[in-house]
A and B are shown apart, each in its own frame.
Chain A
Amino acid sequence: MRASEGWLVAAAVPLLCLLPVLWYVVRGEPRTRLVAQNLAQLLAAFVLLLSAQGFNRPTYLDLALVLAVLAPAGTLVYARFLGGLPPARIVRWTALAGVPAAVVPLCVAAGPGRQTVKLLVIGALLLAGALVTSAGSQPVTEPDAPSGAPEPPGGDEAAARD
């Protein structure tokens, strides 16, 4: 199996971003730590997505899929025990910018087929998870909601929480 260097270089970018995030997980205040943990899961998902393409192994995408499914659960559990989810603009913008930036080129590279569907599902799950867990008390709109997803996480209740 030939590895594609370009994709692996791209995967190195979110991987390197994890280093400063680690600092915040370790040394930040309780709220910062929770946000950093959430961000780390998002960045790790990007690494997994890009490296699956880099290693030319579509089956590695299962990892990103499982992470996308489990990440919100983990964050919400901590939110429960550490008391509340702080709003996190950085997670939100990383998701809004990073998910399309990673998923769209991957879809183009994969061409139409099962792999593209999987990529889109992963992207939608990541986006939904990150947007909800990063919402905090800010109203949230979901730009490209996945088909079959319920209505975008409502701003009404979120606004009511202010």
Chain B
Amino acid sequence: MTRQSRLWFFLAAATVVAVLLVAAFLALPHFGGGFHPYGDRSVRAALAHRTANAVAAVNFDQRALDTLGEETILFAAVLGAVVLLRQIPGERQEAPRPAQVPAAVRRLGVLLLPVALLVGMYVVAHGQVTPGGGFQGGIVVATALHLLYVAVDYRALERIRPLALYEVGDVAGEAAYIVTGIAAMLAGSAFLANVLPWGTLGTLTSGGTVVVLNAAVGMEVACGVVVLLAMFLDQAVRIEESPGNSAATQGRTGK
């Protein structure tokens, strides 16, 4: 199919889809309407389990099994990226060059790194009370570590990033989620049922298993994203196809 004909084919199909979409939108409940049967029920369920953040309650209590599936998707994606982006025969590792970073940027990075880690952990820990949770906080923690790459250089990042440890952390997060689920079964309830004491609404320990699952997800996401970004960074900075005039890019980006 030529480019031209493909475009026309798309435009025709898009017109049909657009018409269907508008027809569907007209039949949807109005934006801002008051009819939310599922929402009302899940809010009631969240409050019954003393979880202040109803979204966290949906994710880690009412739909905990679905979140397990999602976590497994993340796990599989990290695994896939590790396999796809490994060093293959014919490639060699290139020692990353030290980078020259302006002192102001370096100081900012050193100042921000602990603050960012703290913010990330705060977001994970308060997931059941305030907006946030394992997914968001985990990504913030993972991004925070990469401040070291932009503020110092890749070697500094590698020093605080023993990849094997993060891979283990990724697995441990996934495992902790499943173990929590099985523990609920051993306690005589269903898989991933909320069996822990619920506590008082709005406190850090409220929500029962939500707290545990939240932490497990936080750990998996943080470690998984670190591993994921490490694979990409290794490809972009370290791994060379074959002997050649490399290091130019690293030297250039290192400024």
Among B110, B111, B112, the residue within 8 A (CB) of A73 is B112
Cα(A79)–Cα(B131), bound, Å: 31
Residue pairs across A and B with CB atoms within 8 Å: the count is 87
List the B side residues contacting A76 at CB < 8 Å: 105, 109, 147, 150-151
Which one of A70, A84, A149 contacts B140 once the chains associate, using CB atoms below 8 Å? A70
Size of chain B's interface in residues, with CB distance under 8 A? Answer: 29
Q: Tell which of A60, A62, A77, A150 touches B107, judged by Cβ atoms closer than 8 Å.
A: A150
A156→B103 CA distance, assembly (Å): 9
A73 with B150, Cβ < 8 A, contacts A59-B130, A129-B112, A150-B111 known:
yes
Interface residues of A in 139-159 (CB under 8 A from B): 140, 149-151, 153-154, 156-158
CB < 8 Å neighbour of A66 from B107, B109, B123 = B123
Main secondary structure of the interface of B (DSSP, over half): helix
B45 at the interface (CB under 8 A from A): no
In B75-106, which residues have CB < 8 Å from any A CB?
A: 102-105
Residues on A facing B (Cβ under 8 Å) = 59-60, 62-63, 65-66, 69-70, 72-73, 76-77, 79-81, 83-85, 125, 128-129, 132-133, 135, 140, 149-151, 153-154, 156-158, 161
When C-beta atoms are compared, the residue in chain A nearest to B104 turns out to be: A153
Question: Which 3 A-B pairs give the minimum distances between C-beta atoms?
Answer: A153-B104, A76-B150, A157-B103
Which residue of chain A is the closest to B102 with respect to CB atoms? A157
Q: Are B112 and A62 in contact (CB under 8 A)?
A: no
Query: Is A72 within 8 A of B255, CB to CB?
Result: no
Given A73-B150, A76-B150, A83-B252: A149 touches B111 (CB 8 Å cut-off): yes
